[in-house]
Amino acid sequence: IDIRLAQYAGLRQIFEKCFRFLQAMARGNDVVQGRLFDRLDRLLSVHGAEAALADALTEVFTGNQEMCLKIRGYQVQRIVELLALHQLDASEFLDLLKAVVKVEELDLPLKRNQAFVMTYINQNRAKLAWIIEKDAAEKRKRLLKAGDLSDPELNYLLRMVDLLATCAEGENRFIESICQNIFLIEDLLEILNDPEISIPCKRPYLRFFVWVYLNTAGGKVESGASELDHDENMWRYIEMLNQSLLKLRNSLKGLERGSKKSMAMALKPGRTPSRQALEAAMQDKDRRIVATARVVDEDFLLYFFEGVLPFLQVFYTDYYQPVGDQHQMEVKTSQELVLNLLHISDEISHNVGDENQFQLLRSTVTTLVNQETLELLQQAEYVTMVTKFQQLSVDVEVDVRSDAMKKYESEFNREEKLNDRLNQFVVNFKKAYEGPNTVRVQIGYPSDTQYCEEDGDEDLPLGKEFQDHLSCFTNRSDGVDKHASKLVEQLFISYSDPDLAKLSEAERLEQERTSVTSLQVLRAMVHNQIMLLPEDDSGRSKAYQRTMERVRLVQDALNAFQSPLKIIPLLSHHNDDIVRETLALLATILYRGNRAVQAGFEYYFLNTREERFFIDVQARLQRSVVATRERRALLAQHRAKVSKSKEMMETLRLKTQGKKAAAKTSLAAAGQVSDEIELKTLEIKEGVHEVEDTSDALRFKDDGYIELILRIMGFMCDGHNRVLQDYLRVQSDNIKSLNLVGETTSYLQLFYGSINPDNIALVTQVFDTLIEFLSGNQENQAVAFDRQIIDAINDVLRLDTSHFTDTPELVCQLKQSAVVVLQSMIEENDPQTIRLSKEILETVHIDALYENMQKAFEEARQNPGEDGEDMRLLAFTIHHILLGLQDFGQKHWGKKWLFSYNPTPEQAGADAVLKDDTMSVEILRGEELQKVYFRVKKKAALREEVKEHLKWNISRESPTDKLRDFLEWAQDIRSDINFQQKVQRHWLASIFISGRVFWHWTLIVLTLALNIVMLASWTAPPDFDERHPQVGDYFYPILFSLGGIHLFLSTCMVVTFYLSNWNNFTFPAIVYTIFRRDPPKESHSAINWFGLQSMYFALFLACSVLSLFFDGYFYCFHLFIIVVNNDILGRVLQSITRNGKSLLWVAALMVIIIYVYAIISFAFLRRSFDRNEGLFCESLGECFVTSIKFGLLSGGGLGEALPPLTYSFQEPGLRIIFDLSFFIIITIIALNIVFGIIVDTFSELRDEKSRAQADMASVCFICGNPSFEFDKRGEGFDKHVKQEHNIWSYLFFFIHLNSILPNDYTSIEEFVAQKLSSNEIDFFPANRALSLAETEDKNAQELTELKRMMQQLLARQEQEDAEQRRQKERQEHKTWEKRHLHESHDEDYEVRETTV
């Protein structure tokens, strides 16, 4: 319908009353203002009551900084278009634009909104600016002189001029130049000096004059106001002002104090026209305001505060120059002006109802007082007024309460207190109902960790009710019930069902609340599982992995419902709560870079050509940039205003001090003042106070939930997801591609030089997200470098930490994130990274890196425990970056590059200490060798015996076998080191383990001492059956004292052995078979519970105990301790035990053979066994035992042990066969076989050691290159194996990978971890080394240079040959020409002769 038709007049009235009601509801109500702003587009489309609409929307923006910052350019354009459409019928839109342009609560303009308004007004100038065109000058003059404020054209004119003045406010040069083409200075002064023009009509023109010509960004000359200091028209206007102020001063003297207060409260600017204020006062029957208005012109008061005071302040600050006698009239006028202002300020300063007005009044008076002269100081009236004013400037507090509010508070004070107590009861009851915000209370898990972030972007409802609600959608298997899919479908329907557009407002709000609750329930499913993760865990414990697996199950279950993909469109929802919960849910589902969820995003982006997500992210980043810059501009304007005020107050103080003595002397001489009168100097307190008062309004705010968005994008790329890294940079399959990597990097520029406690968390998140973007992706690194990421890193490194005294950990986290970004950009060695690194080296601040490394190192040294771990990590990261830059600089520019910066002794000392705990490895990735520096936390955790065991027992059959066996050893050693670190966390266990060497050598010395005492003191007892030796009286005291110590040390050594190897103990395979258990994986460090080593230590302790009870007999057994950790004796024992099975089988064969001979002896040779000689053969058992004993101990076997008894010739013949066969089989063959096995084993062990020594001395274990290659082409083989390809460095690198979370891997660490998980060894630099590669590069460069020189020589030779050929041709040509000319000359001569 066309609401402008007459039949819809009633509807127009309804619309108008609705808007008036909304205007009243929005006044001072942030919630209503927010609701109206959310529906701004819909409200701007309403027709029929435009003027009331403009008034209602003006209330939305008046005094609401957030709304002014949030308004979009197209919305301002729509307002201007409505103004152009309705013009005089809705001039209130000009007031709306003024409210949008200037933040009333701060009295500061928004430059962005100023630009919007002026741009769109210029676009519609023909429709909007007709009233201010030059050809309408006569009409304007006529309207101004008529002064009929009810005239729509005059209202439109005044509002337009006022809007232009507001747009020019704040020293906006571009807008000033536009406005200076509208009105000239002469035109403005003519209007201001015209007595026929009323005060309300002059007010906007005076404001225009101030902000367009006087207080400008271009200066006096550019604006044309350089001659105004002594301009006749200007001083005529000032004289007119002076008369008006004198009249106001006289009027204020007769008013009562209550009338002054009522008058002041009626002067709230920017709200209601003066006539409406009077009408409202009459309706409220407040006769005091009416009576006051009759005595004091309220229009002049508005004119005074909004125009006159700014004018006087600017003029007397920048233009007034009382020089020479020819300007005495100006000085006199200024003196009168100062006195009038002092009187006026004394009358109304206690009753000003607006703090901005009070500050303006105070600063203006201060400005004029600064221009005082000695003549003025001699006036007692002036001295008294200045003293009063100075005291007011310090003591006055602005009371902005209205009389109605004061009356209400006095009459309903009891109800107010009761209401406050009721509100406090509600808050307390809510806390009691919800319970404390801890994991223990909310979900019943024994942890006092905070359950959720309170009043943040990721808070959740607290209390049992919410958890009960959540339990309806969860189960015990995977944590998510099938009914949870209904929540996802409900969210999908909430934006996709077209019927929802028909819902009423109440139904729509209810639907939005339902969507918020659904999103919270879905998020809490994952959040509750995350809260169960162990605190301060490296991520490698079984408890952490079990809980993290539970988190992944819940994430995967929600991903199976397509939750992320179905809720992405909600990012465009108009309700900020829904957008916030959607972002929080996406961040939770992607927590720790869930691969399944990442794959879902890949599929969604690549198959649907989704653009909405990227558009929304870019829009939010851009809106955040705009809002933050506007806040920063406001803060800069405010600080400039405060600084200017402080300068004026300081000038006043200095002037007063300088002239005070002269004034007092003059006044005392004139008898006008007593000695007690003294001028007080101003205390400059207001500047700091103002900054503090507005700090909350101007503090940084995360507009658009940027931190959540950045976290989501970081989780998308977590784990080096190359597909999403590239897709976030360029969407090649979309119509419009948005570079979110570049946008994120550019977002950092917003915080250059302005990082503070309010935004440091967001800046840290930006760097954390960039780490995921850049790690292993050279294209993204190039984009980030082009967007000045190095400048941002330098800015962070030079961050002033004086503002972070309470939160130094935030600064440490920020710097750590920044340097990790730098590390990710230089970690690789491919050609593209080399080119980028060259540019990085020219821009990064090396001195800042050294300074931060030193500071972090010193702070970490002051906090040696876990408290200093973050600082320690920062110091190591910077140290590794510097090492990488050194390597790169030395490779490409020689040693002179990096060492042109000389670190201080403190920095060099920190660098040296950090270098001791840093190792490096070379990794082959593709065709490029990469050098990786890493931190070694505890070198001592790798025991020397383990290193020796590995060094001599690793397989060296081939380079491949060495590396594969090394990986197996590394796994075992890594497990052993982890166990050692775990054991050493207990203080008592750490004492035992750390004293391992002490126990060993002390026991050796003590055992020798005890055995020496036994050798020196034991004598044989007379009775051969007596076992106790005869000793002196001193023996037993020595035995028990030294034996007690021996027992204590033995216990310590045995406990140390079992503690150190507890993780390596295994049972024999038969035990696992009996109990039907899977045997553990074979390990190089495994120790059998019933093995020789474990039995030795058990017997060692037992013998130490038995020795105390049996006179020290068992101390002889302890002498075998010399075998422990002795390589030579260990190999002797190993020569027996290594082939122990073969020896046992040979021994078994010997026993069987002897058993056969024992049977033969029992049957035929019993008579040869003489009992007197110890030969027993009464039974087969005796015969068998005797055969074993004498057959092995006798040199000739049984033949030598048995006497040769003969009774016939037949017996010697059989004995020969018997004796010779036994001698040959047992003594010669069998025993020599045993000795041969032992000797061969020992020789084999010796050869293995020799080969191992030769291999270690001549071949690199890692790359397999011979030593002479490094001696010839590198820097020596020793340096290579100790620094470049140190086997222990690789071992500690594997341990380093196991000590950090996979999500924290760098690109190269991720590559090596994947290879280790699949047992691949191709990351080892086989036959490659950087030192050899550098030599090859140098040789290649030399060959290239030689080739270039040869080419130059050949080219030069060819040029010389060509030049010689050309010279020869020229010479031949000259010869031919000469000959040809000579012949022609001869022919001509002959012709002439013939003619003659």
Residue 711, pLDDT score: 94
- The pLDDT of residue 673 is 43
Angle at 593 (CA atoms; ends 591, 594), nearest 5 degrees: 85
**pLDDT computed for residue 2 by the predictor:** 64
Least confident interval from 202-206, 646-650, 1034-1038: 646-650
Q: What is the pLDDT of residue 537?
A: 59
Report the pLDDT value the prediction gives residue 1280, as an integer from 0 to 100. 87
The highest-confidence range among 242-256, 347-361, 448-462, 977-991, by mean pLDDT, is 448-462
Pairing of strands 102-103, 108-109: antiparallel
pLDDT, position 284 = 42
- DSSP H or E run through 222: helix 220-223
Q: Using alpha carbons only, give the angle 1149, 1155, 1156 rounded to the nearest 5 degrees.
A: 95
Say what the pLDDT of residue 1340 is: 56
DSSP letters spanning 452-466: S-TTSTT----SHHH
pLDDT band at 873 (very low <50, low <70, confident <90, very high): very high
Q: In this structure, how many other beta carbons lie within 10 angstroms of the beta carbon of residue 150? A: 7
> Average pLDDT in the 872-877 region?
94
Cα–Cα–Cα angle for 928, 933, 939, rounded to 5 degrees: 135
What 8-state DSSP symbol labels residue 934? E
Q: SS3 of 89, please?
A: helix
- 1275-1291 mean pLDDT: 87
Find all residues with CB under 8 Å of 542, minimum gap 6, and list them.
Answer: none
Specify the pLDDT at position 272: 39
Of 127-131, 551-555, 741-745, minimum mean pLDDT range: 127-131
What confidence score (pLDDT) does residue 693 get? 43
Average pLDDT in the 965-994 region? 80
Cβ atoms of 817 and 877 closer than 8 Å: no
Give the model's pLDDT for residue 31: 85
Indicate the pLDDT class of residue 713, thresholds 50, 70 and 90.
very high
Residue 789's pLDDT is: 93
Stated pTM of the model: 0.79
What's the CA gap between 172 and 152, in Å, rounded? 30
Instruction: Work out the pLDDT band at 1073, boundaries 50, 70, 90.
Output: low
Q: Reply yes or no on whether the pLDDT at 126 is more than 50.
A: yes
Would you state the pLDDT for residue 410?
72
pLDDT, tens digit (0-9, with 9 covering 90-100), for 468-503: 999 999 887 767 888 889 999 999 998 888 877 788
Backbone angles phi, psi at 401, to 5 degrees: -80, 140
| Residue 204, C-beta contacts closer than 8 angstroms, at least 6 positions apart | 158, 159, 161, 162, 165
Question: What pLDDT sits at residue 1271?
Answer: 79
Give the residue ranges of DSSP H helices in 609-685.
612-670
Which stretch of DSSP H or E encloses residue 765?
helix 760-774
- What confidence category does residue 352 fall into, taking pLDDT thresholds of 50, 70 and 90? low
pLDDT at position 233:
87
Least confident range of 156-160, 261-265, 1093-1097, 1115-1119: 261-265
pLDDT, residue 373, reads 54
Q: Please say if the pLDDT value at position 1128 is more than 60.
A: yes
Residue 397 in this model has a pLDDT that exceeds 70 = no
Q: Return the SS3 of 1268.
A: helix
Q: Report the pLDDT averaged over residues 1286-1295.
A: 90
- Per-residue pLDDT band for 78 (boundaries 50, 70, 90) equals very high
Compute the average pLDDT of residues 1213-1241. 83
Amino acid at 841: L
Q: For the residues 796-803, what does the mean pLDDT come to?
A: 86
Identify the weakest region by mean pLDDT among 32-36, 405-409, 872-876, 1215-1219.
405-409
682, 393 Cβ separation under 8 angstroms: yes
Q: How confident is the model at residue 286 (pLDDT cuts 50, 70, 90)?
A: very low
> What's the pLDDT score for residue 851?
93
List the structure tokens of 356: 């901005």
Higher pLDDT, 607 or 1206: 607
The answer to which of 335-349, 588-602, 884-898, 993-1007 has the lowest mean pLDDT is: 884-898
The tokens for 724 are 């999403």
pLDDT score for 1210: 56
The per-residue DSSP string of 771-837 comes to HHHHTT-HHHHHHHHHTTHHHHHHHHHT--GGGGSS-HHHHHHHHHHHHHHHHHHHS--SHHHHHHH
1099-1108 CB contacts, 8 Å cutoff, 24+ apart: 1100/1050, 1100/1053, 1100/1054, 1101/1050, 1101/1051, 1101/1054, 1104/1043, 1104/1046, 1104/1047, 1104/1050, 1104/1051, 1105/1047, 1107/1010, 1107/1043, 1107/1046, 1108/1039, 1108/1040, 1108/1043, 1108/1044, 1108/1047
Mean pLDDT in residue range 1152-1173: 83
Q: What is the pLDDT of residue 654?
A: 61
266, pLDDT greater than 50? no
- Dist CA 759 CA 780 (whole Å): 25
Mean confidence (pLDDT) of the chain? 80
Confidence tier at 53 by pLDDT (50, 70, 90)? very high
Residue 1212 confidence (pLDDT) above 80: no
> Coil, helix or strand for 1266?
strand
Looking only at the bridges linking them, the beta strands covering 1087-1088 and 1065-1066 are parallel
Residue 740: is its pLDDT beyond 90?
yes
Angle at 193 between CA 189 and CA 195, to 5 degrees: 150
Most confident of 138-142, 679-683, 794-798: 794-798
Under a CB-based contact definition with an 8 Å cutoff, are residues 710 and 766 in contact?
Answer: yes
More confident residue, 49 or 270: 49
